[in-house]
Amino acid sequence: MTKVLFINPVVREEDVPRHVPYGIALLAAIAIREGHQVQVYDANAWRLGEDTLREVLRADDWQAIALGGITTAYGSIKQIVKVARAECPQAVIMLGGGVLTSLPKEVMTWLPEIDVGCVGEGFVTFPEMLDMVDSGQRDWMKIAGTISRDSLGRLVLSAQRGLLENLDSLPYPAWDLFPLEEIYFKNSQMLFSPEGMMAKRRLDINVSYGCSMICRYCYHLGIAGDMRYETDETGEVAVSFDQPGSYSRSIRYHSPDYIVRMIKHIHDKYGVDFVLFLDENLMTMDQHSGRTWLKDICRLLHESGLAPVPEFDESGQLAGWKGIYWSGTSHATLCTKEVLKTMRAAGCSHLVYGYESFSSHVLKTVGKGSTPATNERSLFWTLEAGIRPVPNLIIGFPNEDFQSIRDNIKALDRLGISVKPHFATAYPGSEWFTTYRDSLTAQYNGDLEAYILELGDATTISGVISKNFTAVELIGLRELQLQGNLRLIDAYETVWKSRQGL
Ligand code: B12
């Protein structure tokens, strides 16, 4: 039995904490099931600074300290492991999650405090790591899906970890270990739909892994098919991600029965009134299942009495509901009118759509398979079904140009919507990170870690992958696109062309 402290690093500091870290909560539940002693310090939820972190680290005789997170949590992880190493010199410090999986060797090099990393899926690897700590041995190479240091201090990758076949064998996440009442339920609201705005007790669930798309800015977690182990001519094993033209995808999802039982569990146990599906693209799974998955989830929501019954005040405004409303992400080319209506009847309040652009020549390079027409069609189908579509746009694609910006302005005007685009950002693990890595590193004076430290939520600009525009130009052009200012776009195009000698 190993005594392990999980630390959830700080992410998205500019907003209040809104999401229980699903991966950590699942791994904690698995470790408890295997008989280990687990405690969680949710640094992201509490945000109490280094003194409290030190107190937590001193509070017990931790044998293992486990951290995980996405790439944008790297800065927080870097600070935490320094303090953890100083306070708990004997503990095994382990790291997993997208931050490590997308750049295993680099992150292990930058963070010498980490003893062992979990590359890819942690469901089986993590309990094996805890057993190893318990045994007193440190032979990490015996555990597939790890990266560690050999006796000479060189980084070594063990064999690739296979994916868990039967997702329904997973326990429910250990939500009890997180400050639900103190922090998370207070931040339940999602400002994307009236029901989301009125949510009082929201929890998130993740019920599928993988996506059929090959969006070049997206990272498939390294566990859903985009990661491969390769041996170079010197015999060294390295991890690589999607390269142009080479893709493989693995798509897995929980059964509708498991999903609705879990929703019923959190509704009955915690009084949850709103569920956010974290899944990247619910429609991929639906299509993969032969269009039965979402229909069955919706049917079971009705049969379990979870489909919401709205209550209205005297003026006809939504005042509350019995049951649960829910939301998630959809996809322009994969949604159907029928499934959207079925989802609405079962309580779906809003769906996020990554439209990215309304320009054909840009969309052709993104890898999503969508067109301006499928984007527009899905927006109306979703509205007609009574669900709020939440459109996302990106500016600064490699082939972004004046025409694509005009295309966006005209489409937004025609549709009557306003969207402030994110900046195209190549997060580690994405195809565009592989393609533009050298250029991105050069933009940070050869220091890749500096780029990683600057990555945030792409509302501010970091590394640029646009072939036509600089960071300064993109900031200005985003503003003009938002304003729909075609006059200044035309004027700037003239200046830009003369500077390019065109
Ligand atoms: C929830 C979520 C968020 C949440 C919270 C993240 C969190 N701390 O929990 C919020 C809203 C903050 C968020 C924001 C963003 N996100 Co986000 N997010 C997700 C999402 C939808 C789900 C994460 C999840 O819970 N997955 C399920 C669990 C089970 O997987 P997991 O956490 O990876 O854990 C597994 C393994 O990694 C491993 N593991 C994890 N931790 C540990 C620890 C140890 C010790 C071990 C051994 C193993 C281990 O074991 C687990 C089981 O296999 C993912 C997509 C996805 N479907 O995963 C994107 C994703 C992580 N997000 C992503 C991105 C790009 C963003 C944004 C930049 C988007 C934007 N433009 O705003 C912002 C960043 C904001 C910021 N300023 O930091 C990318 C990450 C790319 C990258 N290289 O890091 C993803 C992969 C989406 C994508 N496909 O591109 N996100």
240: pLDDT confidence band, cut at 50, 70 and 90? confident
pTM flag (> 0.85)? yes
Give nearest CA residue, ligand 1 atom 29: 23
Q: Which atom of ligand 1 is nearest to the CA of 221?
A: 86
Dump pLDDT digits (tens) for 115-135.
999 999 999 999 999 999 999
CA of 70 to the centre of ligand 1 (A): 5
CA of 414 to the centre of ligand 1 (A): 34
Ligand 1 neighbourhood includes 11 CB (under 6 angstroms): yes
Query: Hey, how many other C-beta atoms are within 10 angstroms of the C-beta on 196?
Result: 21
CA of 352 to the centre of ligand 1 (A): 16
Residue 466: both structure tokens together: 């646009």
Beta bridge partners of 320: 311
Rounded Cα–Cα distance for residues 449 and 451 (Å): 5
Residue 45: both structure tokens together: 């939820």
pLDDT cut 90: percent of the chain above it: 91
Instruction: State the residue for tokens 């939301």.
Output: 327
Q: What single letter denotes the amino acid at residue 250?
A: S
pLDDT of residue 388: 97
pLDDT tops 90 at residue 250: no
Ligand 1 neighbourhood includes 22 CB (under 6 angstroms): yes
| 486-499 and 471-483 helices, crossing angle to 10° | 160
Residue of 70, 213, 277 best suited for mutating to test ligand 1, as the one with most atoms within 8 Å of CB: 70
By the 10 Å C-beta count (0-12 exposed, 13-18 middle, 19+ buried), 124 is classed as middle
Average pLDDT value for residue range 411-435: 95
Radius of gyration, CA atoms only, the chain: 23
pLDDT tops 70 at residue 225: no
Average pLDDT value for residue range 167-178: 98
pLDDT tops 80 at residue 222: no
Average pLDDT value for residue range 297-320: 97
Give nearest CA residue, ligand 1 atom 7: 21
Dump pLDDT digits (tens) for 348-383.
999 999 999 999 999 999 999 999 999 999 999 999
Give nearest CA residue, ligand 1 atom 35: 23
Beta bridge partners of 7: 41, 67
Mean pLDDT, rounded, of the chain = 95
Average pLDDT value for residue range 132-156: 96
Rounded Cα–Cα distance for residues 74 and 111 (Å): 10
Dump pLDDT digits (tens) for 95-115.
999 999 999 999 999 999 999
Ligand 1 neighbourhood includes 320 CB (under 6 angstroms): no
Q: In this structure, are residues 464 and 443 in contact, taking their beta carbons and an 8 Å threshold?
A: yes
Dump pLDDT digits (tens) for 261-304.
999 999 999 999 999 999 988 999 999 999 999 999 999 999 99
Q: Which atom of ligand 1 is nearest to the CA of 97?
A: 37
Pairing of strands 37-42, 3-8: parallel
Rounded Cα–Cα distance for residues 330 and 32 (Å): 34
Q: Which atom of ligand 1 is nearest to the CA of 211?
A: 89
212: pLDDT confidence band, cut at 50, 70 and 90? confident
Q: DSSP code of 469?
A: -
Ligand 1 neighbourhood includes 20 CB (under 6 angstroms): no
pLDDT of residue 499: 93
Helix, strand or coil, per DSSP, at residue 481 = helix
Instruction: Return the closest-CA partner of residue 7 out of 61, 71, 64, 51.
Output: 64
Rounded Cα–Cα distance for residues 409 and 415 (Å): 10
